[in-house]
Amino acid sequence: MSERSFVMVKPDGVAKGLTGEIVSRIERRGLEIVGLKKTVMTREAAEEHYGEHRERPFFGELVQFITSGPVVMMAVEGPDGAVAALRTMMGATNPLDSAPGTIRGDYALEVGENIIHGSDSPESGVRELGLHFPELS
Protein backbone atom coordinates (compact mmCIF):
# COMPACT_ATOMS: atom_id res chain seq x y z
CA MET A 1 0.00 0.00 0.00
CA SER A 2 0.99 3.61 -0.41
CA GLU A 3 -0.25 7.00 0.67
CA ARG A 4 0.06 10.53 -0.59
CA SER A 5 0.51 13.80 1.21
CA PHE A 6 0.29 17.45 0.26
CA VAL A 7 3.40 19.40 1.24
CA MET A 8 3.86 23.13 0.78
CA VAL A 9 6.91 25.32 1.28
CA LYS A 10 5.33 28.49 2.63
CA PRO A 11 6.25 32.02 1.50
CA ASP A 12 8.86 32.40 4.25
CA GLY A 13 10.57 29.15 3.23
CA VAL A 14 10.61 30.17 -0.44
CA ALA A 15 11.95 33.64 0.46
CA LYS A 16 14.74 32.06 2.54
CA GLY A 17 15.76 29.85 -0.39
CA LEU A 18 14.89 26.60 1.41
CA THR A 19 12.88 24.90 -1.35
CA GLY A 20 15.81 22.87 -2.67
CA GLU A 21 16.83 21.77 0.82
CA ILE A 22 13.29 20.66 1.64
CA VAL A 23 12.86 18.80 -1.65
CA SER A 24 16.22 17.13 -1.08
CA ARG A 25 15.28 16.02 2.44
CA ILE A 26 12.02 14.52 1.19
CA GLU A 27 13.74 12.63 -1.62
CA ARG A 28 16.63 11.44 0.55
CA ARG A 29 14.06 9.98 2.95
CA GLY A 30 12.91 7.76 0.10
CA LEU A 31 9.65 9.52 -0.71
CA GLU A 32 8.68 10.37 -4.27
CA ILE A 33 7.55 13.80 -5.43
CA VAL A 34 4.84 13.03 -7.97
CA GLY A 35 3.67 16.64 -8.44
CA LEU A 36 5.47 19.95 -8.02
CA LYS A 37 4.56 23.55 -8.77
CA LYS A 38 5.46 27.06 -7.71
CA THR A 39 2.57 29.50 -7.51
CA VAL A 40 1.05 32.33 -5.52
CA MET A 41 -2.02 30.92 -3.80
CA THR A 42 -5.22 32.85 -4.41
CA ARG A 43 -7.24 34.10 -1.47
CA GLU A 44 -10.09 31.78 -2.43
CA ALA A 45 -7.80 28.72 -2.54
CA ALA A 46 -6.21 29.71 0.79
CA GLU A 47 -9.61 30.11 2.46
CA GLU A 48 -10.69 26.69 1.21
CA HIS A 49 -7.37 25.07 2.14
CA TYR A 50 -7.48 26.40 5.71
CA GLY A 51 -11.30 26.19 5.99
CA GLU A 52 -11.22 24.18 9.23
CA HIS A 53 -9.67 27.26 10.91
CA ARG A 54 -12.26 29.74 9.58
CA GLU A 55 -13.74 30.47 13.03
CA ARG A 56 -10.38 30.87 14.75
CA PRO A 57 -9.00 34.36 15.49
CA PHE A 58 -5.83 33.77 13.45
CA PHE A 59 -7.65 32.75 10.23
CA GLY A 60 -7.32 36.16 8.53
CA GLU A 61 -3.62 36.42 9.32
CA LEU A 62 -3.05 32.87 8.11
CA VAL A 63 -4.75 33.55 4.77
CA GLN A 64 -2.91 36.87 4.39
CA PHE A 65 0.46 35.24 5.05
CA ILE A 66 0.01 32.22 2.77
CA THR A 67 -1.05 34.51 -0.11
CA SER A 68 1.77 37.03 0.49
CA GLY A 69 4.26 35.43 -1.88
CA PRO A 70 5.13 32.33 -3.86
CA VAL A 71 4.70 28.87 -2.39
CA VAL A 72 5.99 25.55 -3.68
CA MET A 73 3.35 22.82 -3.63
CA MET A 74 4.19 19.13 -3.76
CA ALA A 75 2.31 15.88 -4.02
CA VAL A 76 4.46 13.37 -2.15
CA GLU A 77 3.98 9.60 -2.26
CA GLY A 78 5.41 6.79 -0.22
CA PRO A 79 4.55 3.57 1.58
CA ASP A 80 1.99 3.44 4.38
CA GLY A 81 3.27 5.78 7.07
CA ALA A 82 4.56 8.38 4.60
CA VAL A 83 2.30 11.11 6.02
CA ALA A 84 3.55 10.41 9.55
CA ALA A 85 7.16 10.36 8.31
CA LEU A 86 6.69 13.77 6.70
CA ARG A 87 5.11 15.17 9.86
CA THR A 88 8.11 13.98 11.87
CA MET A 89 10.51 15.53 9.35
CA MET A 90 8.66 18.85 9.57
CA GLY A 91 8.73 19.08 13.36
CA ALA A 92 6.18 20.53 15.76
CA THR A 93 3.89 23.31 14.53
CA ASN A 94 5.56 25.65 17.02
CA PRO A 95 9.17 25.75 15.85
CA LEU A 96 10.35 26.41 19.41
CA ASP A 97 9.04 22.94 20.29
CA SER A 98 10.68 21.33 17.24
CA ALA A 99 13.74 19.15 17.62
CA PRO A 100 16.99 20.09 15.91
CA GLY A 101 17.22 18.18 12.65
CA THR A 102 13.59 18.82 11.75
CA ILE A 103 12.77 21.41 9.10
CA ARG A 104 11.07 23.76 11.57
CA GLY A 105 13.64 23.06 14.27
CA ASP A 106 16.45 24.02 11.91
CA TYR A 107 14.90 26.97 10.05
CA ALA A 108 11.97 28.59 11.89
CA LEU A 109 11.31 30.55 15.07
CA GLU A 110 7.63 31.57 14.85
CA VAL A 111 4.37 29.62 14.66
CA GLY A 112 2.97 32.07 12.10
CA GLU A 113 5.96 31.66 9.79
CA ASN A 114 7.01 28.06 10.21
CA ILE A 115 8.41 27.30 6.72
CA ILE A 116 6.32 24.28 5.72
CA HIS A 117 2.83 22.77 5.67
CA GLY A 118 2.08 19.08 5.39
CA SER A 119 -1.13 17.10 5.52
CA ASP A 120 -1.88 15.96 9.07
CA SER A 121 -3.43 12.65 7.98
CA PRO A 122 -3.87 10.55 4.84
CA GLU A 123 -7.49 11.81 4.67
CA SER A 124 -6.33 15.44 4.78
CA GLY A 125 -3.82 14.57 2.08
CA VAL A 126 -6.60 13.37 -0.21
CA ARG A 127 -8.59 16.57 0.42
CA GLU A 128 -5.63 18.94 0.01
CA LEU A 129 -4.28 17.18 -3.07
CA GLY A 130 -7.77 17.38 -4.58
CA LEU A 131 -7.67 21.16 -4.12
CA HIS A 132 -4.14 21.77 -5.43
CA PHE A 133 -3.42 18.79 -7.70
CA PRO A 134 -6.82 17.72 -9.06
CA GLU A 135 -5.09 16.05 -11.99
CA LEU A 136 -3.63 13.48 -9.55
CA SER A 137 -6.96 12.62 -7.90
Strand-pairing partners, residue 9, are 72, 116
Assess whether 117 carries a catalytic annotation: yes
Q: What is the largest CA-CA distance in the chain?
A: 39
DSSP-derived 3-state class of residue 111: coil
Reference 26, options 77, 70, 94; nearest CA is 77
Distance CA(117)–CA(41), nearest Å, equals 13
Alpha-carbon gap, residue 96 to 106, rounded angstroms: 10
Could you tell me which of 68, 8, 15 has the C-alpha nearest to residue 35? 8
Given the residues 49, 53, 117, 132, select the one marked as catalytic: 117
Active site residues: 117
